[in-house]
Amino acid sequence: MYDLTTGKIFGAALKHVLREQPRGTQARLAEAMNKESSYIADIKQGRGGGTEETRRYIASFLNVPYEEMLAIGRAILRGEESAPSFRMPEPSPPYGADGLTTVPFLEAVPAMGGESQRLSRQARSHLAFRTDWLRTKGNPERMVVVRADGDSMHPTIQDGSIVLCDESRTEFADGRIFLVELGDGIVIKRLRSGPDGPVIVSDNGNVETPVRPGEHFRIRARCVWTARELD
């Protein structure tokens, strides 16, 4: 019998897999997760396995199936001589279907209250991104694209810009920009910590609005990249 927690199993696998990755991968992973490198080091040592969502995000970033990570970790901790060997996947071609991920472009539905909108899960179209580039921004499998409406986040995000969002990153991070459910709608805003809870920030004029007690508030996704069409 082996007393193997998932955190220890995943940590052993992570340590093994990172040794096979290019130098600097751990630092890039920590940056993508908005964490210090020591956070990844703790996971490697089995001191902080995080949630399953976190572990799956890390596996996706490293381009290793989650179940394979667990199989590697179990074998390492049990000292099996025939532990499954890990081989780095062949790099995807820079262009062409095999190297691209299609990301749903979600339809925004106007809601009452200024720039506030509701977001439909129905994709109006899809945009293709290089998969290896998406991994540097977050989890390719959980990315969505939305279009910014209004100038409240100018100049950071301009009216009409498309915004790439990672729905796997819903943890509050002070000063970062998120797709947020607020009241009966959804907005793109910067979040800051306030004395009584989160504060919604519009970059245009640096307007700060504390979330009111009892007001519906939920982080839907972290905004990780933006682009806009030229006139």
To the nearest whole number, what is the mean pLDDT of the chain? 80
Predicted pLDDT at 92 = 42
Give yes or no for residue 210 having a pLDDT over 90: yes
Predicted pLDDT at 229 = 64
In a domain, 31, yes or no: yes
In a domain, 39, yes or no: yes
Among 20, 51, 78, identify where a domain stops.
Answer: 78
Give yes or no for residue 171 having a pLDDT over 80: yes
In a shared domain, residues 207 and 126: yes
Better pLDDT: 120 or 68: 68
- DSSP of the chain: -----HHHHHHHHHHHHHHTSPTTHHHHHHHHTT--HHHHHHHHTTS----HHHHHHHHHHTT--HHHHHHHHHHHHHT-TTPPPP-PPPPPPSSSGGGEEEEEEEEEEE-SSTT-EEEEEEEEEEEEEEHHHHHHHS-GGGEEEEE--SSTTTTTS-TT-EEEEETT--S--TT-EEEEEETTEEEEEEEEEETTEEEEEETTTTEEEEPPTT--EEEEEEEEEEE----
pTM of the model: 0.58
In a shared domain, residues 114 and 209: yes
Share of the chain above pLDDT 90, in %: 25
List of residues 6+ apart from 108 with CB closer than 8 A: 117, 118, 119, 120, 146, 147, 149, 186
CATH number at residue 16: 1.10.260.40
Predicted pLDDT at 19 = 86
Give yes or no for residue 42 having a pLDDT over 70: yes
Residue 126 CA to residue 140 CA, distance in Å, equals: 13
Provide the sign of the torsion angle of the four alpha carbons 197, 203, 204, 206, taken in this order: positive
Give yes or no for residue 94 having a pLDDT over 50: no
The whole domain housing 24 covers 6-78
In a domain, 83, yes or no: no
Domain count within the chain: 2
In a domain, 86, yes or no: no
Question: What is the average per-residue pLDDT within 202-215?
Answer: 92
The string of pLDDT tens digits covering residues 133-162 is: 888 888 888 899 998 888 899 999 988 889
Residue 68 CA to residue 207 CA, distance in Å, equals: 47
